Chains A and B, each alone.
Chain A
Amino acid sequence: MFGFIIKRSLLLIPVFFAASIVVFLLIHLVPGDPVDSLLTVGSPPEQRQIITERYGLDKPLIVQYGIWIGDILRGDLGTAIIMRRPVADLMAEALPYSIALGASAFLFYTIVGVTLGVTASLFQDRWPDRTIMTGVLFGSTLPSFWLGLLLMLIFSVWLRWLPVSGARDVSSLVLPVLTIGLGGTALVARITRVAMVETQRKDFVMLLHAKGMHPLHIQLVRVLRHALIPVVTILALRIGFVLGGAITVEIVFARPGIGTLLVRGIMQHDYPVVQACLLMLSMAVILGTFLGDVLQALMDPRARVSLS
């Protein structure tokens, strides 16, 4: 079991380097001179020479990459051009907000989604099922930024129950979490319901009934345990969903976070910031996939054979 995990973790290293190469190439793909991308407007001419030497911009690409990745691995993420502060500091400030938002949203939509999906499957094709699934479908089609604005309008402007923006305290988390959460709930509820319904049809479930087991125990313990396998796997694979949602929601609700940092960096052409944020977000997605594989192996004995 542990051997499997070790083997899979080793795979992360080449993937990390592959992602870093893509991110590195970013500023070299931007039309124009890379040196210009790294200079602040109105810098003295000597800055060009300093920047060129610092990043080795007159050396071959591979050497440049080596310098860059070496810095990253040592924790030096460069300096923000516009804000003139170390990128690592900016990210360290932004990260806790993003994690709080992402983790809360994930917990919300997982718990609510699984509950709704299980409930819908227990009442298959009757009114609770239809109501839940229609509601969920509707919630998922709404573009997330519009949903956020709508919630803001209702709860902050008209009802004045919650703050409009910012990140002062827990109450400012509610609407952002709800915005990401409603979309995520749809995804999770749908997968859970399908998994439950398909599992119920399987032969071993019939045999459980034949053994005289209580039907609720069968549904909520045995069938659910089985149905959760694809749910957990997809949740981990779809970690991109919560990341994408967090980026959008941070902008809508003017929350500090990696998403805000990234978008601001793009608009200001602040490439060190953009590179660092992209690298971190990419690694988050890759880690999520890795976690999905590990969890699947943990939960399903059959998967350990095929994945090793």
Chain B
Amino acid sequence: MMRWLAPLRAAFGRPSGMVAGTWLLILIAVAVLAHLLTPYDYDIQDLANAKMPPNAAHWMGTDEFGRDLMTRIFYGARTSLTVSSVSIGLSLMAGLTLGATAAYFGGWFDRVVTTAVDLTWSFPEILIALILVAIIGPGTTGTMAAIAVAYLAQFTRLTRAQILTLKSETYIEAARSLGASHKHLLFRHLVPNALAPVLVAAMLATGDAIILEATLGFFGLGAQPPTPSWGAMMSSGAAQLFSAPWIILLPGLVLTVTVIAINLFGDALIAALDIRTKLRDA
């Protein structure tokens, strides 16, 4: 555990990492403490004050129903962060297991996994996500399943590549000859050492997942009302493009800055951990 603090601190040490990391921490805090930070409720309509530009009472203006935009952005952050991190987390665990097992045991299982990964890898994530939403239906569950499956191929592939390289290292051979069991080797030696690049890839994928979640929301297939989501906000805001552009601009801006921050922080981590080469071939 302590091992992970050092690279995080190193990432914060770099100027880009510090700015990006700070933004992300603020965003997480905002998402968690949303109900404490704003006097408004995300769902209370106030038609008299609809479509107001940013002012003293509403720092980011109101939407077409008079709801405070900043509040909805804060709660939307909660949705975005929860959905993307949970689904990426699930995808990561599944990918680690599949990739490690395939690389370690080889044989027909490996071939099946590799073929499946190769086939899905060239599919755009939005398409995979749409397939899953078609089966499960719109909503948060569908979106989480969609994201998890869309990124599964990436994590499987990366883990497999890492384990394949590690498998042939001499310390593994030594452990084998000392009688270590497969399970022991896999979970105590191989996977922990393969973790670093995969975890960083997971972090970067979370950024993409946030965009994917917002895109699905924009299509109306994501978290359903009353749960606020940035994508759905921008979708309904599209109709107000002429009269109230901030409804689209502000959530989108927060989204973009967040994703840029994730990418910058991820890059800083990669530099701090010095694993650029391990990630290149994936």
Chain B residue with minimal CB distance to A278? B131
Interface positions of A from 196 to 232, Cβ below 8 Å from B = none
Take A266-B134, A274-B134 as given contacts and tell me if A145 and B125 are in contact as well, using a CB distance cutoff of 8 Å: no
CA distance A149 to B246 in the complex (A): 11
Contact of A153 among B214, B219, B245 (CB under 8 A): B245
Interface positions of A from 232 to 268, Cβ below 8 Å from B = 237-241, 243-245, 247-248, 251-252, 262-263, 265-267
| Interface assignment of A288: CB less than 8 Å from any CB of chain B | yes
CA distance A153 to B135 in the complex (A): 35
Contact of B252 among A26, A143, A289 (CB under 8 A): A143
Chain B residue with minimal CB distance to A240? B124
Interface on chain A toward B: helix, strand, loop, or mixed SS? helix
B135 near A251 with CB under 8 A, answer no
CA distance A247 to B221 in the complex (A): 14
| Interface assignment of B165: CB less than 8 Å from any CB of chain A | no
A142 near B256 with CB under 8 A, answer yes
B259 near A141 with CB under 8 A, answer yes
Q: How far is the CB of A129 from chain B (nearest CB, A)?
A: 18
A26 near B131 with CB under 8 A, answer yes
Take A240-B123, A244-B126, A282-B123 as given contacts and tell me if A263 and B131 are in contact as well, using a CB distance cutoff of 8 Å: no
A149 near B252 with CB under 8 A, answer yes
Q: Please, how many residues of chain B have a CB less than 8 angstroms from a CB on the other chain?
A: 35
A153 near B248 with CB under 8 A, answer yes
A149 near B215 with CB under 8 A, answer no
A240 near B256 with CB under 8 A, answer no
Q: How far is the CB of B16 from chain A (nearest CB, A)?
A: 12
Interface positions of B from 223 to 253, Cβ below 8 Å from A = 231, 234, 238, 241-242, 245, 248-249, 252
Chain A residues within an 8 Å CB radius of B202: none
| Interface assignment of A150: CB less than 8 Å from any CB of chain B | yes
Take A143-B255, A149-B252, A248-B215 as given contacts and tell me if A157 and B127 are in contact as well, using a CB distance cutoff of 8 Å: no
B127 near A145 with CB under 8 A, answer no
Q: How far is the CB of A195 from chain B (nearest CB, A)?
A: 13
Chain A residues within an 8 Å CB radius of B260: 138, 141
| Interface assignment of B53: CB less than 8 Å from any CB of chain A | no
| Interface assignment of B220: CB less than 8 Å from any CB of chain A | yes
Query: 9 tightest CB-CB pairs across the interface, nearest first?
Result: A244-B124, A146-B252, A240-B124, A244-B126, A143-B211, A29-B135, A266-B134, A141-B260, A149-B248
Report 25 cross-chain contacts, Cβ distance below 8 Å, ordered by A residue.
A18-B119, A26-B134, A30-B137, A141-B260, A141-B263, A143-B256, A143-B259, A144-B215, A145-B234, A146-B234, A150-B249, A164-B241, A239-B122, A240-B123, A240-B127, A243-B127, A245-B124, A251-B219, A252-B238, A266-B130, A267-B138, A267-B221, A278-B130, A285-B123, A289-B122
